[in-house]
Amino acid sequence: MSLVHEVDYGTPRSRAAKTVTLTIDGHAVTVPEDTSIMRAAMEMGTQIPKLCATDMVEAFGSCRLCLVEIEGRPGTPASCTTPVAAGMAVRTQTDRLKRLRKGVMELYISDHPLDCLTCAANGDCELQDMAGAVGLRDVRYGYQGAKHPDPGKDESNPYFTYDPSKCIVCSRCVRACEEVQGTFALTIAGRGFDSVVSPGMEEAFLSSECVSCGACVQACPTATLTEKSVIQIGTPEHSVVTTCAYCGVGCSFKAEMRGDEVVRMVPYKDGKANRGHSCVKGRFAWGYATHRERILKPMMRERIADPWREVSWEEAIARTASEFKRIQAKYGRRSIGGITSSRCTNEETFLVQKLIRAGFGNNNVDTCARVCHSPTGYGLGTAFGTSAGTQDFDSIEHSDVVMLIGANPTDAHPVFASRMKKRLRAGARLIVIDPRRIDLVRTPHVEAAYHLPLLPGTNVAVLTALAHVVVAEGLVNEAFVRERCDWDEFQDWAAFVAEPRNSPEAVAKISGVPAEAIRGAARLYATGGNAAIYYGLGVTEHSQGTTAVMAIANLAMATGNLGRPGVGVNPLRGQNNVQGSCDMGSFPHELSGYRHISGDATRALFEAAWGVSLDREPGLRIPNMLDAAIDGSFKGIYIQGEDILQSDPDTRHVAAGLAAMECVVVQDLFLNETANYAHIFLPGSTFLEKDGTFTNAERRIQRVRKVMQPKSGKADWEITLDIAKAMGFPMHYDHPSQVMDEIARLTPTFAGVSFDKLDALGSIQWPCNEKAPAGTAVMHVNGFVRGKGKFIVTEYIATDERTGPRFPLLLTTGRILSQYNVGAQTRRTENVIWHEEDRLEIHPHDAEQRGIRDGDWVKLASRAGETTLRALITERVAPGVVYTTFHHPGTQANVVTTEYSDWATNCPEYKVTAVQVTPSNGPTEWQERYDELARKSRRIAPFVEAAE
């Protein structure tokens, strides 16, 4: 094994279609127009010395090291800023150039510390490399230069240091922050020898606007910005390309290793989802993998009040199987089930649902998409015929209008948000539909053309009002609709949306959004060029979540914004493999590839492959499982990598459901909140410890590659195999690639997928089959998967969760950049420095009415329950609306959320809860009781060797 080295071409790739031919050092080379000479030289294998140039940012031309001579032109221009021209003859190495470069390097080195042997970048320093490249043997100006003013290292950021004495003021970090990340947190302060990189207004990195994405560290050619892990461990010696296990963007990383220790995670430039960028979670927050709280041995206990007892794998697996068999014998075949993990691989997810359907003999399998994007599956499946986003992420580069609904990508999908911001800075217009004034409404060099701050729960009304404007003002793309969609259904729909009750003026009274804003946004979406919709859980997690997804599909079809780059309907998926877990047949009513379990032909295919008969009836969904547990008909559950106690709504109901079961088996990295109610704990493995694939929000299947052995001794897929064998349904696989081969045999949209092909192509977007052997970037290009696109009438039905005198405010919940979902991973990293607790955002008006000051403890109460947390007074939320995150179990935000759910899928209505907020001076009774329960539940008895 060795380090994966990526070629740095010095400047970005030109997108020009036309090519030109020139000669460099006498060799002809043909490149696209607008390519820099530096890049053209690199493409033929000649590396022109450089310091300020790197292909992640535009050329800057400041270091004067990349000079070349061009026949017929005076001087020695910088090759990074000089574009190629037809017939141009370039010389990259002449006596004059050698002299000039050496002179430049002398100046750099005269002002740079020469502590190379003890420098963290020793062996990985471009300044060092360039000194070698130009043949620097002496520095005429001596080595005692003034150096940069050295105010000392800035070590405030938990993950990297800033050492100004090593800075060569190349501005790569400043440009990366602007061009790649789009935060504009850095600048160069001072002039001449006083020049230094300055975060914000000459602040420390930690207190500046810096979002710790790592782009500056990656861009830095010296040790000025260096990962603390490199300083502590040393430089890596080999690397493996793998996929991030955080959000649904699916960034590719090089896991850079020394032995089996991760030194750093570096975003992979060839990663088609992230194109070499990263966020604070994927880049830095992987320390949870070796956190002291990880459980590495199986554990069991008779009752949840007992302490845990460490046992052998054999004992834990045997007990799991015997308990499940006992329960089925006593309560019936359908009395047990399981939950697949959207954090695990496709192969692991497929095996869990196979175990349940074929080994348990029922379809009681569900996944966390139940509580996030299940309405996307139902809504887009009904409208288009397939339940996934229509585009790839590259599509954003062709968008003229972006409509962002109920999503906050700068926090939840930060790497894609950076690409979106880049396009917006280039001129695309933005419409934000969100109750909160999210960052994208107004952020450096980006301002939304329209922000529709609708009242939580009124999505369908506003989306239908947008459609009203499209229809009433003659903005329908009739040619597209006539060709691609069911015309009769369109006419029914058009008549419905045109009704006066759906006009912006009528909807303004319901939603609180001014009619003119709705009209303006609709006109922009329908007439502004390529218009793309991106949406998140602010759309789906409502009692009308599915209806809202259908309304989005209607809008896109009516305006012809489907079937080509730059447009489409794009659900931003939450977890790393939530798309994959849905694709793999994790829903109780369908097998892999979204085929209903009642289909005789589909079932027969699986029955023949698996050698068992399958139940033709749909199984229980997660909320139904909990209801059935309380009712006494559901008694055992196998939960792989999902913390339903913290993540699912109405925590007390979830707790009651779990407590009513006779055998709860939790497979996870840590003793999570759900494990407080578990009888058997099976230690899981991180994404670093196994092979497999994840599928991201753009349907892109990417490899996860093992870089170390599973710390518990078994990868998650191996544990599922052991349970299956003990249950009497042995499944034989030697490697996850064989599971993917089976998936491909049984799933038409995956028919052409294999590990070999993934290794060859890097990644594949499904559908991948005979018709599309390399995958499919954009869906529905020549027609919809279902045939004709289906327009669906979207009647607005107000949620039954209403404000009133007792609960006058509306609570909505979401994520923050530094934390991830239930926080099991990110809370066990240095990321807690940015978000050590959940806070309640409240408008100054509402706070003042209640006598609440910023930072005060407040009680947040709904009819479901109450909790306490500290207040954050902000105008990001409108009067009457409050907001919090759900990352910390101490807060348990879901104690407050209710059992209301989407009509079609039971996706919980997290985004609308009527609440009251009052000053508080201590934790609630529930928090105190729960804290006590959690403390007791996590006791582990000392290990006792079994007697001979």
Partner 1 sequence: MSPDKLVYMANQIGKFFAHQGHDKTVAGVADHLARFWDPRMRDAIIAHLEAGGDELDPCVREAVVKLLAAQHNAGANSKSS
Residues in contact with partner 1 by the rule CB under 8 A? 334, 364, 496, 543, 546-547, 588-589, 596, 598, 617-621, 624, 627-628, 631, 633, 793, 795, 797, 899, 901, 903-906
Q: How far is the CB of 617 from partner 1 (least distance, A)?
A: 5
Q: How far is the CB of 546 from partner 1 (least distance, A)?
A: 8
Q: Which is nearer to partner 1, 793 or 934 (CB)?
A: 793
Whether the bond between 767 and the residue before it is cis, its omega within 30 degrees of 0, is yes
CB of 659 to partner 1, least distance (A): 17
Q: What is the DSSP string of 538-566?
A: HHHSSTTHHHHHHHHHHHHHHTT--SSTT
Identity of the residue, 334 or 423, whose beta carbon is nearer to partner 1 in the bound complex: 334
Q: How far is the CB of 615 from partner 1 (least distance, A)?
A: 9
Smaller CB separation from partner 1, 310 or 627: 627
Residues forming a β-bridge with 451 = 432
Q: Cα separation of 165 and 751, whole Å?
A: 56
Nearer to partner 1, 291 or 501 (CB): 501
Q: Shortest distance, CB of residue 545 to partner 1, whole angstroms?
A: 11
Closer to partner 1 by CB, 304 or 798: give it.
Answer: 798
Task: Pick between residue 224 and residue 546 the one whose CB is nearest to partner 1.
Answer: 546
**Ramachandran class of 543: left when φ > 0, alpha when ψ lies in -120 to 50, beta otherwise:** alpha
Q: Let me know: does 206 contact 156? Beta carbons within 8 Å.
A: yes
C-alpha distances (whole Å) from 495 to each of 318, 502, 792, 813 are 62, 11, 12, 35
Instruction: Kindly state the smallest distance separating residue 795's Cβ from partner 1, in Å.
Output: 5
Complex with partner 1: residue 60 or 594, whichever CB lies closer: 594
DSSP assignment string, 68-84: -EETTS-S--BTTTPBP
HEC secondary structure over 134-179: CCCCCCCCCCCCCCCCCCCCECCCCCEEECHHHCCCCCHHHHHHHH
Of 290, 291, 293, 309, give the one whose Cα is nearest residue 301: 309
Q: How far is the CB of 694 from partner 1 (least distance, A)?
A: 27
User: Helix, strand, or coil here: 884?
Assistant: strand
C-alpha distances out from residue 367 to 79, 339, 549, Å:
53, 5, 20
Min dist. Cβ of residue 613 to partner 1 (A): 14
Beta bridge partners of 591: 595
Q: How far is the CB of 723 from partner 1 (least distance, A)?
A: 22
Q: Long-range contact list for 202-208, CB < 8 A, 24+ apart?
A: 204/154, 204/156, 205/154, 205/156, 205/157, 205/160, 205/162, 206/156, 206/157, 206/158, 206/833, 207/156
Give the distance, in angstroms, between the CA of residue 76 and the centroid of all CA atoms in the same chain.
46
Answer for the pair 264, 227: CB distance below 8 angstroms, yes or no. yes
In the bound state with partner 1, the residue whose beta carbon lies nearer, of 417 and 792, is: 792
26 Cβ contact list (under 8 Å, min separation 6): none
Residue closer to partner 1 by CB (options 340, 765) is 340
CB of 589 to partner 1, least distance (A): 6
* Beta pairing, strands 569-571 & 531-535: parallel
Which CB atom, from 333 or from 845, has the smaller least distance to partner 1? 333
Smallest gap from residue 256 Cβ to partner 1 (A): 46
Q: Which residue lies nearer to partner 1 by CB, 291 or 589?
A: 589
For residue 591, give the 3-state DSSP assignment: strand
Return the number of the residue (629 or 701) whose C-beta is nearest partner 1: 629
- How far apart are CB 303 and partner 1 at their closest, in Å? 26
Which of 702, 413, 388, 438 lies closest to 568, judged by CA?
388
Nearest alpha-carbon partner for 923 in 934, 912, 914 = 934
Which is nearer to partner 1, 564 or 589 (by Cβ)? Answer: 589
Which contiguous run of DSSP H or E holds residue 359?
none
- Closer CB to partner 1, residue 610 or residue 903? 903
Cα–Cα distance, 120 to 234 (Å, whole number): 7
* CB nearer partner 1, residue 210 or residue 582: 582
Dihedral of CA atoms 563, 565, 570, 575 in degrees, nearest 10, equals 130
Strand partners, 701: 695, 764
Q: Least Å distance between CB 595 and partner 1?
A: 12
Q: CB-based burial of residue 415 (10 Å sphere; 0-12 exposed, 13-18 middle, 19+ buried)?
A: buried
User: From the CB of 619, what's the least distance to partner 1, in Å?
Assistant: 6
Smallest distance, Å, CB 620 to partner 1? 5
- Identify which of residues 54 and 651 has a Cβ nearer to partner 1 in the complex: 651
Q: Which of 886/900 has CB closer to partner 1?
A: 900
Q: What are phi and psi of 198, to 5 degrees?
A: -125, 115
Separation CA 522–CA 450 (nearest Å) = 10
Residue 895 Cβ, how far from partner 1 at the closest point, in Å?
A: 19
What whole-number distance in Å separates Cα of residue 565 and Cα of residue 624?
40
| 46 or 633: CB nearest partner 1 | 633
**Minimum CB–partner distance for residue 656 and partner 1 (Å):** 12
Measured CA to CA, the distance from residue 280 to residue 359 in angstroms comes to 40
Tokens standing for residue 640: 């792989």
| Minimum gap (Å) between residue 598 Cβ and partner 1 | 7
Enter the tokens of residue 49: 């010395």
Residue in the block written with tokens 């792989």: 640
What count of other Cβ atoms lies within 10 Å of the Cβ of residue 939?
A: 11
CA separation, residue 513 to residues 120, 464, 861, 914 (Å): 54, 13, 27, 20
